C-alpha cells in the first residue's frame, strides 16, 4: 500500500496534481486555497516543472491556455471571486478544445463574500460561467482522499475529451486534515500532435484558436463541442449511492453537504426512517437519468446544499414533475448541521 499521510485538503490537491503528472501550475493568492500555489511553488520547482504565481487570476487562466495549447498538463486553482475572473479564459479553453484543470475551493459569496465554505458556485461551474455554449466536466470530491484522487481523474478526463475539467470543492474540505493514501498514478500517453510546439519543418503548422468568423466555421466548431458533450453525458456520469434501493426518501447532496447528510441519514435510519443518499460525483454531467429512474420508482427527494438552491434546479429538471423535491438550503455564511438535516428528513417521511 502507498504511503498514508495526514494532509490538508489543499495540499492533497497539489500532491494529487503532481502524482497525475501536472507539468505546469499557474495560480494566484486567494483565501481559502493559498496552500495550493504555496505547496506547488516548492514541489514543482523541486521537480523541475513549471510554477508561476501570475499577476492575476486572469493572467493565470491565460497562461493555462498557452501551456495547454502547447501540449502540457496544466492546472490552476482559485476560489469563487477568482473563478469569476477566469470565465473568459475558460470559455476560450473549451472552444479551442484544450485540456486543463481548474480547481475552485468555494468560499462565501456573492461579491467579495467571506471565507466560509459554500456551494454557491454550482451554476457558475455547471451552467457555463463563461459565455457561449460550452461545458466544464465538473468533479465534486467530499474528502481529502477524494481531492487527491479526483485531481488526477480531472486531468485524465480533460485529456480524454480535450476539454477543461473543474474540481469543485469548498473551504471546509480544502482546509481540513485527513489521512491520504498517496497512490501512484499512471500518467496516460496522450496524442498531442495538434499542440503548438514548433513545427520544426516536419509538419503543417498548428493553430490553437477559438475564433470562427465565417458562419459555417463557427457552426462547425460548435457542432464538435455539441457532439463531444453528448458523448460525455452518455459515458462519464459518476455517482455514489448509499441505501437508496429500499429508501422512500433520497437525499441528494455533494461535497461537504454530503458528509453532513451521511451522518444525518445514519441517525434517521436508526430511528426507522427509510432514507438513502445519492451523491453526485460528477456535477456535470449531472446524473439526471438515475434521478429520473428513482423518481419513476416513487421516491421523494431532499436536496441539501450550501446555496439558495442551485443543484436543486437540476434535480427538479431530472424529476420532471414526477416526484416531490424538497430543499434544505443554507445561506452563505452558514453550514448545515446534522441535527437540522435529520429533523428535515424525519419531517418528510
Partner 1 sequence: MFKKPEALTDVPFHYCPGCTHGIIHRLVAEVLDELNVTGRAIGVAPVGCAVLAYKYFSCDMQEAAHGRAPAVATAIKRSVPGSVVFTYQGDGDLASIGAAEIVHAAARGEKITVIFINNAIYGMTGGQMAPTSLIGQKTTTSPFGRDPELTGYPIRISEMLATLTGAKYVVRTSVHNPVNVNKTKEAIRKAFECQLNGIGFSLVEVVSSCPTNWGMTPMEALKHVENKMIPYYPLGVYRSPEEDAKK
Residues that bind partner 1 (CB under 8 A): 23-24, 26, 50, 52, 54-56, 58-60, 62-67, 69-72, 74, 88-89, 92, 96, 196-202, 205-211
Backbone angles phi, psi at 164, to 5 degrees: -65, 145
Residue 127 grid coordinates = 451552467
What distances in angstroms separate CA 198 from CA 15, 71, 87, 142, 342, one per listed residue? 31, 11, 28, 41, 59
Give the angle subtended at the CA of 153 by the CAs of 152 and 158, to the nearest 5°: 100
Shortest CA distance to 330 belongs to which of 261, 243, 271? 261
DSSP 206: P
Residue (70 or 317) nearer to partner 1, CB: 70
Least distance (Å) from partner 1 to the CB of residue 30?
A: 16
The answer to whether the beta carbons of residues 338 and 264 sit under 8 Å apart is yes
Residue (3 or 202) nearer to partner 1, CB: 202
CA distance 222 to 95: 8
Strand positions, DSSP E, 107-173: 137-139, 164-170
Residue (204 or 347) nearer to partner 1, CB: 204
Residue 186 grid coordinates = 499512471
The answer to whether the beta carbons of residues 348 and 302 sit under 8 Å apart is yes
Residue (48 or 111) nearer to partner 1, CB: 48
Least distance (Å) from partner 1 to the CB of residue 60?
A: 8
CA distance 257 to 168: 13
H or E stretch at 84 = helix 80-85
Least distance (Å) from partner 1 to the CB of residue 211?
A: 6
CA distance 4 to 6: 7
Least distance (Å) from partner 1 to the CB of residue 309?
A: 33
Residue (192 or 299) nearer to partner 1, CB: 192
Least distance (Å) from partner 1 to the CB of residue 70?
A: 5
305 DSSP β-pair partners: 329
Q: Are strands 239-242 and 249-252 parallel, antiparallel or unpaired?
A: unpaired
Least distance (Å) from partner 1 to the CB of residue 339?
A: 48
Least distance (Å) from partner 1 to the CB of residue 174?
A: 25
Residue (54 or 187) nearer to partner 1, CB: 54
Least distance (Å) from partner 1 to the CB of residue 71?
A: 8
Residue (210 or 243) nearer to partner 1, CB: 210
CA distance 295 to 175: 36
Least distance (Å) from partner 1 to the CB of residue 52?
A: 7
DSSP 116: S
The answer to whether the beta carbons of residues 33 and 168 sit under 8 Å apart is no
Residue 98 grid coordinates = 484544450
Residue (58 or 116) nearer to partner 1, CB: 58
Amino acid at each position: 500500500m502507498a504511503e498514508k499521510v495526514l494532509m490538508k485538503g489543499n495540499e492533497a490537491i497539489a500532491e494529487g496534481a503532481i502524482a497525475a503528472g501536472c507539468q505546469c501550475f499557474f495560480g494566484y493568492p486567494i483565501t481559502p486555497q493559498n496552500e495550493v500555489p504555496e505547496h506547488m511553488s516548492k514541489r514543482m520547482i523541486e521537480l523541475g516543472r513549471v510554477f508561476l504565481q501570475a499577476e492575476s487570476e486572469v493572467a493565470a487562466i491565460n497562461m493555462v491556455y498557452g501551456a495547454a495549447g502547447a501540449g502540457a498538463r496544466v492546472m490552476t486553482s482559485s476560489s469563487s471571486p477568482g473563478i469569476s475572473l477566469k470565465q473568459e479564459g475558460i470559455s476560450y479553453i473549451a472552444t479551442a478544445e484544450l485540456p486543463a484543470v481548474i480547481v475552485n475551493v468555494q468560499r462565501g459569496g456573492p461579491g467579495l463574500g467571506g471565507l466560509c465554505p459554500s456551494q454557491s458556485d454550482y451554476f457558475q461551474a455547471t451552467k457555463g460561467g463563461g459565455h457561449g455554449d460550452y461545458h466544464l466536466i465538473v468533479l465534486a470530491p467530499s474528502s481529502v482522499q477524494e481531492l487527491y484522487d479526483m485531481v488526477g481523474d480531472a486531468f485524465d478526463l480533460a485529456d480524454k475529451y480535450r476539454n477543461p475539467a473543474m474540481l469543485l470543492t469548498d473551504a471546509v474540505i480544502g482546509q481540513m486534515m485527513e489521512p491520504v493514501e498517496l497512490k501512484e498514478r499512471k500518467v496516460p500517453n496522450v496524442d498531442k500532435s495538434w499542440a503548438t510546439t514548433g513545427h520544426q519543418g516536419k509538419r503543417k503548422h498548428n493553430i490553437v484558436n477559438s475564433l470562427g468568423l465565417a458562419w459555417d466555421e463557427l457552426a462547425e466548431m460548435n457542432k464538435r463541442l455539441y457532439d463531444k458533450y453528448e458523448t460525455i453525458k452518455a459515458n462519464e456520469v459518476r455517482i455514489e449511492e448509499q441505501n437508496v434501493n429500499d429508501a422512500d426518501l433520497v437525499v441528494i447532496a455533494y461535497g461537504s453537504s454530503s458528509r453532513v447528510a451521511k451522518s444525518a441519514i445514519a441517525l434517521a435510519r436508526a430511528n426507522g426512517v427509510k432514507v438513502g443518499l445519492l451523491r453526485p460525483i460528477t456535477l456535470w454531467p449531472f446524473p439526471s437519468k438515475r434521478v429520473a429512474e428513482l423518481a419513476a420508482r416513487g421516491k421523494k427527494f431532499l436536496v441539501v446544499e450550501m446555496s439558495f438552491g442551485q443543484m436543486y434546479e437540476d434535480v427538479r429538471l431530472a424529476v420532471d414533475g414526477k416526484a416531490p423535491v424538497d430543499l434544505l438550503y443554507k445561506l452563505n455564511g452558514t453550514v448545515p448541521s446534522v441535527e437540522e438535516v435529520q429533523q428535515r428528513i424525519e419531517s418528510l417521511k
